[in-house]
Chains A and B, each alone.
Chain A
Amino acid sequence: MELLLFIVRRFLRLVLTILIISTIIFFVIRVIPGDPALVVAGIDASDDDIQAIRVRLGTDVPVGVQYVRWLSDIVRFDFGESMISGASVNKLILERFPLTLTLAVLGIMLGIIVAIPLGVLSAVHRWSFWDYFGMVYSQMGMAIPSFWLGLILLLVFAVKIPLFPLFGSDSLKHLILPAIALGFARAAVILRLTRAAMVEELSREYIITARAKGLTDRMIRYKHALRNAMIAVVTITGIQFGYMLGGAIIVEQVFSLPGLGRLFLYAIYQRDFPLIQGGVVFIAIVFSLVNFAVDILYSVLNPKIRIS
């Protein structure tokens, strides 16, 4: 009951967040100097042409009307058509989204599978081989740019040792290398945080109680400390996941993957305003949904949060 109430409250907050973000996007785009219609039409366009483009973009009516239209479009999840291809923005985004989603899921799985156990191991056996290994890994993970890692992965595992395909996105196998390139740095962040959280939890007073109870080290670490450490880990992992869902522009570029990142990148190149707007709102919605899911998971892990 308490949990249900919490979920409802968080959901209302999610709706409010999306509303605020949409409003900000709307005004930011209007504040940017220059009439988009002029940009689209080019220098030689006639006044009639420009007016026609304004009608198409919906910028011919007063800002208030535009804002109401914008909100009603979002509620209906309708962002109009791409100015370049004429296809609906929805369709373009939803076509690309499965690839980005798969990539993000693979990337975050890599992060979880590698980083969380390594982080816990580092914290439990401080200054051991695993701890140093973890430190070296996280330093490298944060220092190595993903485009470089992507290129090296391609060179080694697709060209020299052809274990994986060089390009394409037809099967899961195509996504392994990009997922590694994408997840490598994320895993480094999760690793650092897991170690820090675990070290902190192991120094708390309730651990002394657990030891005074005569519990085994295994119980103390994994039943008592890890449970508390996971609260912070889940949060950071969720944020990393949301971040990856927005599309990984650089990795998609290196591996020539038709994901959201590339879609939005080209939309920006081509000043495809409806697609840019739709894209930003879409990312905001996805990010908010991930945060919503994290909040719920968080409250399951941390009973204290539900009442606050």
Chain B
Amino acid sequence: MLEIKNLNISFVQGEKEANALRGISLSLKRNEVHSLVGESGSGKTVTSTCIMGLLPTPPGRINSGQIILNNQDLLLLEEKDQRQIRGKEIAMVFQEPARYLNPTLKVGDQITEMLILHLGMSNIEAVDRALEILELVGLDGGKRILDSYPHELSGGMKQRIMIAIAISCNPAFLIADEPTTALDVTLQLQILNLMLSLKNTLDMGILFISHDLRVVHDISDWVSVIYAGRIVESTSRKELFTNPKHPYTRLLLESIPDADKRGQRLQTIPGKVPDAENIPGGCAFHTRCPIAEDICKTDLPETKEVGSDNSGTSHTAACHFIGKQWKN
């Protein structure tokens, strides 16, 4: 299990301080897809960067929190020991494979270098293993693919290579930062299916970072909604999509375009995510919230259990007025 506890991160530049994460807690089990959903600027990428130990400090500053893997706090590890975790225990897939692959190295080298470094394989062993991995990510063409440069492959193939690199050392956890956003819809579906099947075959936990609720709906077991550096709601996929509690989540769900809503005006949430430098006091969402009252401007709502069903599924949300209705 990978556990993030009360992570609080700022970016400090001169006198200015931007509070990027304000106490994020989430846990990721093996063989589970946990989605982290939110608008741009809400802190999704900071969370993943920090888990990978890639947060540049400065300007980043970890004020508090723990990231626990195998009973050790990754934040306390030396750089050298963190490197043993990166790629080997926790791997990452990025949004735009074309930019995140090295343009001048053959994709084979980009896969095998990890196997050689982390698993101590010889060159020949690593190539054999790389060929197996290619099959696993659904790329046939074997040696020819290994000998290609990224620009010789299509967008979908590049993303499969990105995934091949990530899973090459059999990591327990995979962080996927908007892995399908740069792809067209048919490819999106293929890549999502691939990730789900890899999750099962490799018994891998996936932290799936996205702003696209439809994709999240298709892939997740568990969903956490993040707003201005805090998780405002967290529960199982089914519970979140059928019984959302936080007004932000409810508005997000209403803003999904849907064939049933044809002819209606597409819902949007007015305003935008506040800058990390100027997060409003109290509940950060009160500036955009249709049910906000005075208390929301002053008091930060606690994260509490709000589950209504008796199945025992945890459902937490942070709002003063859970369940309060509003007129559209």
Contacts and interface: CB of A to CB of B under 8 A. Distances in A.
A209 B94 contact: yes
Nearest to B151: A304
Nearest to A230: B104
Contacts, number: 79
Given A205-B94, A219-B117, A303-B149, A212 B102 contact: no
Given A228-B102, A303-B151, A208 B94 contact: yes
Contact of B54 (A211, A219, A227): A211
A216 interface: yes
Interface in A204-248: 204-206, 208-216, 219, 223-224, 227-228, 231
A304 B105 contact: no
A213 B88 CA distance: 8
Contacts of B94: 205, 208-209
A216 to B, nearest CB: 7
B113 A215 contact: yes
Interface in B212-248: none
B183 interface: no
Contact of B88 (A206, A214, A302): A214
Nearest to B118: A214
A210 B91 CA distance: 11
Contacts of B105: 223-224, 227
A223 B94 CA distance: 21
Contact of A214 (B104, B114, B162): B114
Interface residues of A, number: 23
A121 interface: no
B70 to A, nearest CB: 16
Contacts of A208: 54, 94, 100
B103 A219 contact: no
A301 interface: yes
A274 to B, nearest CB: 47
Contact of A209 (B82, B101, B151): B101
Contacts of A205: 94, 96, 99-100
Given A214-B83, A224-B105, A227-B105, A209 B100 contact: yes
Interface in A164-192: none
A204 B99 contact: yes
Contact of A304 (B101, B103, B117): B103
Contacts of A214: 82-88, 114, 117-118
Contacts of B165: 209, 213
A54 to B, nearest CB: 57
A205 B86 CA distance: 16
Contacts of B104: 227-228, 231, 301-303
B131 to A, nearest CB: 19
B326 to A, nearest CB: 41
- Listed residue (A206, A214, A219, A227) with the most chain B CB atoms within 10 angstroms of its CB: A214
A282 B152 CA distance: 39
The 9 closest A-B pairs by CB, nearest first: A214-B86, A214-B87, A213-B87, A205-B99, A303-B149, A212-B92, A206-B102, A214-B83, A209-B100
12 contacts: A206-B103, A209-B92, A209-B94, A209-B165, A211-B54, A212-B52, A213-B117, A215-B87, A215-B117, A216-B117, A228-B102, A302-B104
Interface of B: 52, 54, 82-88, 91-92, 94, 96, 99-105, 113-114, 117-118, 149, 151-152, 162, 165
